Amino acid sequence: MNQPHDETRVVSTPDPIDFDALAARFRSLYDAEPDGLWAAPGRVNIIGEHTDYNGGFVLPIALAQHTVAAVRRRDDSVLRVASTSMDDGAVVTLNLTDIVEGGNYGWAAYVVGVGWAAAQRGLPVTGLDIALDSNVPVGAGLSSSAALSCVTARAWSDLLDWRLDDETVADLGRDAENKIAGAPTGLMDQLASVCGQEAHAMQIDTRAVTIEQLPFDLTGAGLALLVIDSRTEHSHADGEYAERRHSSQEAALRLGVRELRDVPLESLATTLDKLPPLLRRRARHVVTDSARVEQTARLLLSGDDLRRIGPLLNDSHASMRDDYEITVPSIDTLQEAAVAAGAHGARMTGGGFGGCVIALVDQGDAAAVADACVRAAEQAGHPTPAIFQAVASGGADRIR
Ligand code: ADP
Ligand code: MG
């Protein structure tokens, strides 16, 4: 006989962050009061994968999972930072005047890199003391890195009164990631972390760097978005990512366009005929996935039934699997299991070769779909996935 589904068994809720405990840790580490507490969220991309470095569209939401920083301004150029997630919470001490591109600062690069980037822009920078806590899963493709760089950027900007717009705050985070941490990311992660709004998804035009906030009230529609972390990571993901970027550039060059964004959807088949088979498939993914973002955005704006996003999610997954070839068996297993168990649609999200699948489900089906994913992974001999419900939340902000 089937056991009744126990939602709490398979769908986890994020561990809450204890702000008082974080402030207390700050006091014990630095023997002083923090000037304030800031928080920045992780993000999950609803649709539009590998479109960002092709000038195309993406559609992320900010998550309810945050990195929280207790911060105090210093008068010198010293940065001290400690994270519960790293080095057993030990303090890392760096001097801002020593920071150079290509240096090796470990995880602290995402923090100190923000100060470096601000100095590059001619902003007045002083050091900080920082204590961090986070409930954003690290390395799962949910942008714990952007949560970290953006909470730092927001706090530094507020404390030193830099009066930056959101895009510039995000840009400081990206510079920290790209130039000091050495992680090649587009601007999506940081924009989502800085600009997120409750019950909204953001359509980002990655060429124009403009954001359109679109209503995305899942709860109101009786829906839930599951994030199913496969807990697998391909060891060659970095090299594969670089190869896809290169293929995209190569395809654009051969088609005589600046970026694949400039390939019109209408005449796609005839245009792509000019490419060799591999580049044809790569380009087809980029162009069609960016178009699927625009279709999804129109659907959200129209107030139509959100369930109609489902087929677009499935198409996007097929495109990543067959044309861009960035999925792996553990991911495909979860996507198929979610759809077979009644999800309206499901797709891998993030750069690929592991990471997470998202599934759009009726609220009443969330537990059954989650359960089916766990069972399918176990039957296939893959790691047991970690599953939570995504809630579209607000962006980086001061909380105390
Ligand atoms: P993702 O952004 O998908 O979680 P990344 O590989 O881009 O994965 O970023 C993960 C890295 O970011 C970690 O290895 C660590 O260096 C840094 N990081 C993220 N969150 C924290 C945190 N709370 N404390 C310290 N470092 C963190
Ligand atoms: Mg990241």
Q: Is residue 8 classed as helix, strand or coil in its secondary structure?
A: helix
Burial of 21 (0-12, 13-18, 19+ CB in 10 A): exposed
- Residue 5 confidence (pLDDT) above 80: no
- Residue 7 confidence (pLDDT) above 60: no
Whether 233 and 138 have beta carbons less than 8 Å apart is answered as no
Task: Give the Å distance between the CA of 152 and the centre of ligand 1.
Answer: 13
State the pLDDT confidence band at 6, using cuts at 50, 70 and 90: low
Which protein residue has the closest C-alpha to ligand 1 atom 3? 141
Whether 86 is in the pocket of ligand 1, judged by its Cβ within 6 Å, is yes
Whether 241 is in the pocket of ligand 1, judged by its Cβ within 6 Å, is no
Burial of 143 (0-12, 13-18, 19+ CB in 10 A): buried
Beta strands in 101-251 (DSSP E): 128-134, 200-205, 210-215, 223-233
Which protein residue has the closest C-alpha to ligand 1 atom 18? 145
State the pLDDT confidence band at 233, using cuts at 50, 70 and 90: confident
Mean residue pLDDT of the chain comes to 96
Whether 132 is in the pocket of ligand 1, judged by its Cβ within 6 Å, is yes
- Work out the average pLDDT over 158-183: 97
Whether 45 is in the pocket of ligand 1, judged by its Cβ within 6 Å, is no
Quick: pLDDT tens for 94-127: 999 999 999 999 999 999 999 999 999 999 999 9
Percent of the chain at pLDDT > 90 equals: 92
Query: Tell me, what's the pLDDT at 234?
Result: 76
- Which atom of ligand 1 sits closest to the CA of residue 141? 3
Looking at the DSSP bridge assignments, the partners of residue 215 are: 200
Quick: pLDDT tens for 37-46: 999 999 999 9
Whether 123 is in the pocket of ligand 1, judged by its Cβ within 6 Å, is no
Quick: pLDDT tens for 260-308: 999 999 999 999 999 999 999 999 999 999 999 999 999 999 999 999 9
Task: Give the Å distance between the CA of 108 and the centre of ligand 1.
Answer: 10
Q: How far is CA 322 from the centre of its chain?
A: 23
Whether 389 and 383 have beta carbons less than 8 Å apart is answered as no
- Residue 158 confidence (pLDDT) above 70: yes
**The two structure tokens encoding residue 259:** 């970026």
Task: Give the Å distance between the CA of 87 and the centre of ligand 2.
Answer: 19
Whether 139 is in the pocket of ligand 1, judged by its Cβ within 6 Å, is yes
- For the chain, what is the total number of helices (H) and then of strands (E)? 12, 14
50: left (phi over 0), alpha (psi -120 to 50) or beta: left
Quick: pLDDT tens for 337-370: 999 999 999 999 999 999 999 999 999 999 999 9
Q: Which domains does the chain have, with CATH numbers?
A: 7-213 (3.30.230.10), 216-389 (3.30.70.890)
Which protein residue has the closest C-alpha to ligand 1 atom 20? 144
**Which strand ranges, in their side-by-side order, compose the sheet holding 60-73?**
92-95, 78-83, 128-134, 60-73, 36-45, 397-398
d(C-alpha 64, C-alpha 314), whole Å: 25
Task: Give the Å distance between the CA of 215 and the centre of ligand 1.
Answer: 29
Query: Tell me, what's the pLDDT at 10?
Result: 87
User: Which residue's entry shows tokens 């470096």?
Assistant: 116
Whether 144 is in the pocket of ligand 1, judged by its Cβ within 6 Å, is yes
Query: Tell me, what's the pLDDT at 4?
Result: 46
Query: Tell me, what's the pLDDT at 13?
Result: 87
Lowest mean pLDDT among 85-89, 90-94, 326-330, 375-379: 85-89
d(C-alpha 139, C-alpha 232), whole Å: 10
Q: What letter would DSSP give residue 98?
A: G
- Residue 197 confidence (pLDDT) above 80: yes
The dihedral through the CA atoms of 194, 173, 184, 182 has a sign that is negative
User: Which residue's entry shows tokens 């087929």?
Assistant: 311
Task: Give the Å distance between the CA of 110 and the centre of ligand 1.
Answer: 8
- Work out the average pLDDT over 138-156: 96
State the pLDDT confidence band at 211, using cuts at 50, 70 and 90: very high
- Pick from 189, 188, 185, 193: which is nearest to 210 by CA? 188
Query: Tell me, what's the pLDDT at 236?
Result: 80
Pocket test for ligand 1, best of 110, 188, 238 (most atoms within 8 A of CB): 110
- Residue 3 confidence (pLDDT) above 70: no
Task: Give the Å distance between the CA of 94 and the centre of ligand 2.
Answer: 22
Residue 129 bears catalytic tag: no
CB atoms within 10 A of CB 16: 7
Q: Which of 129, 133, 175, 189 is catalytic?
A: 189
Whether 119 and 166 have beta carbons less than 8 Å apart is answered as no
Query: Tell me, what's the pLDDT at 152?
Result: 98
371: left (phi over 0), alpha (psi -120 to 50) or beta: alpha
Query: Tell me, what's the pLDDT at 2?
Result: 42
Query: Tell me, what's the pLDDT at 237?
Result: 84
- Residue 1 confidence (pLDDT) above 50: no
